[in-house]
Amino acid sequence: MVTVEHVTRSLAGFGLTRDDVVVAVGGGMVTDVAGFAAAVWHRGVAVVNVATSLLAMVDAAIGGKTAVNLPEGKNLIGAFWQPCGVICDTDALTTLPPRERRSGDGEMAKYHFLSGDDLDALPLDERVARCVEIKAAFVAADEREELGLGGAQGSRLGGAQDSRLGQGRALLNYGHTLAHALEIATGHALTHGEAVGIGLVYAAELAAALERIDAGRVAAHRAVVGGTYGLPMSIPEGVDTDQLLALMARDKKARDGLTFVLDGPRGVEVVAPIDPAVAGAALEAVR
Ligand SMILES: NC(=O)c1ccc[n+]([C@@H]2O[C@H](COP(=O)([O-])OP(=O)(O)OC[C@H]3O[C@@H](n4cnc5c(N)ncnc54)[C@H](O)[C@@H]3O)[C@@H](O)[C@H]2O)c1
């Protein structure tokens, strides 16, 4: 919030008018802060995101969620404010530190299962473009994350069940229920992408335990997460099952007991309530 005051006072210093444009050049932290500053300056001026990290390219810069942190918590103040353009130049990724790259890799791995596409086959620039397209499709169907809880329809974008309306942005959270719990339980020793990798494999194991998918589909998750992206697939040692279950129960999707985004015969959908004993047993499959 201190940064937002600094940025908006700078906008005042420039004399930025409602006809001007804020250009955010950076990773997701920059596009979030600049996007929020643009949303509140003169009650909203145009913003263009120039994403320089992989995570910003495939996730943070797309979809119009802007937010800043307070000492009391992450993303507590924000606004939905769509950028009028997003630029992703993959040449920028050559200088990105490897762990920051992995943070984006986890989100990229997620898109393999939201779309049903063979993203492996695409070169990096086309894969980034396809991830942007997939996220934009979910956002267009549910700009303010109002849908998708309480049982959504399938989500194979571009396939026979390409019924995006009614699915909701919540599906973009695939793999994130365990990921967020792991980030907290490990004190952020894992990057977001590493945690999402483990979370995707866990979501597959849980879906298999619930007989929603077969062993081949679980193997496909492991092949993408561990094979294509080289992300970890096991919970770090010393992280307690009861702590993870308690953290997952506090997930923002949870309305009626443990709630997960899970793969299944109709594609990925929100499923609740999940029996804690089943969720706990599935954790053993990713240890
Ligand atoms: N608004 C959304 O929908 C949304 C979605 C996901 C994440 N986020 C937010 O995005 C942030 C994470 O984004 P991030 O992973 O880009 O992190 P980040 O913005 O913190 O960037 C990570 C690091 O990489 C550096 N960096 C960025 N681009 C670089 C480049 N081309 N070369 C060298 N270094 C570079 C940054 O300076 C920083 O040190 C979090 O704050 C998260 O809350 C927002």
Residue 32 Cα: closest atom of ligand 1: 1
- Write out residues with Cβ below 6 Å of ligand 1: 26-30, 32, 52-53, 55-56, 59-60, 63, 65, 92, 95-96, 100, 103
End-to-end CA distance of the chain: 39
Residue 29 Cα: closest atom of ligand 1: 19
pLDDT band at 116 (very low <50, low <70, confident <90, very high): confident
For residue 244, which of 190, 179, 189, 188 has the smallest C-alpha distance?
A: 179
Q: What is the per-residue burial (b if ≥16 Cβ within 10 Å, else e) of 225-239?
A: bbeebebbbebeeeb
- pLDDT of the residue at 253: 81
Tell me whether strands 65-70 and 73-80 are parallel, antiparallel or unpaired: antiparallel
* Residue 24 alpha carbon to ligand 1 centre in Å: 12
- pLDDT of the residue at 10: 97
* Residue 67 alpha carbon to ligand 1 centre in Å: 13
User: Considering the chain, what percentage of its residues have pLDDT values greater than 90?
Assistant: 83
Q: Cα separations (Å) of 139 from 48, 97, 169? A: 17, 29, 6
Q: Which residues pair with 270 in a beta bridge?
A: 261
Q: Which of 108-117, 161-170, 274-283 has the lowest mean pLDDT?
A: 161-170
Residue 67 Cα: closest atom of ligand 1: 1
Q: Cα separations (Å) of 204 from 11, 187, 260? A: 47, 25, 11
Look at residue 160 and tell me whether its pLDDT is greater than 60.
Answer: no
Look at residue 167 and tell me whether its pLDDT is greater than 70.
Answer: no
Q: List the residue whose alpha carbon is closest to atom 34 of ligand 1.
A: 96
Look at residue 132 and tell me whether its pLDDT is greater than 80.
Answer: yes
For residue 194, which of 181, 179, 209, 205 has the smallest C-alpha distance?
A: 179
* Residue 29 alpha carbon to ligand 1 centre in Å: 5
pTM across the whole model: 0.91
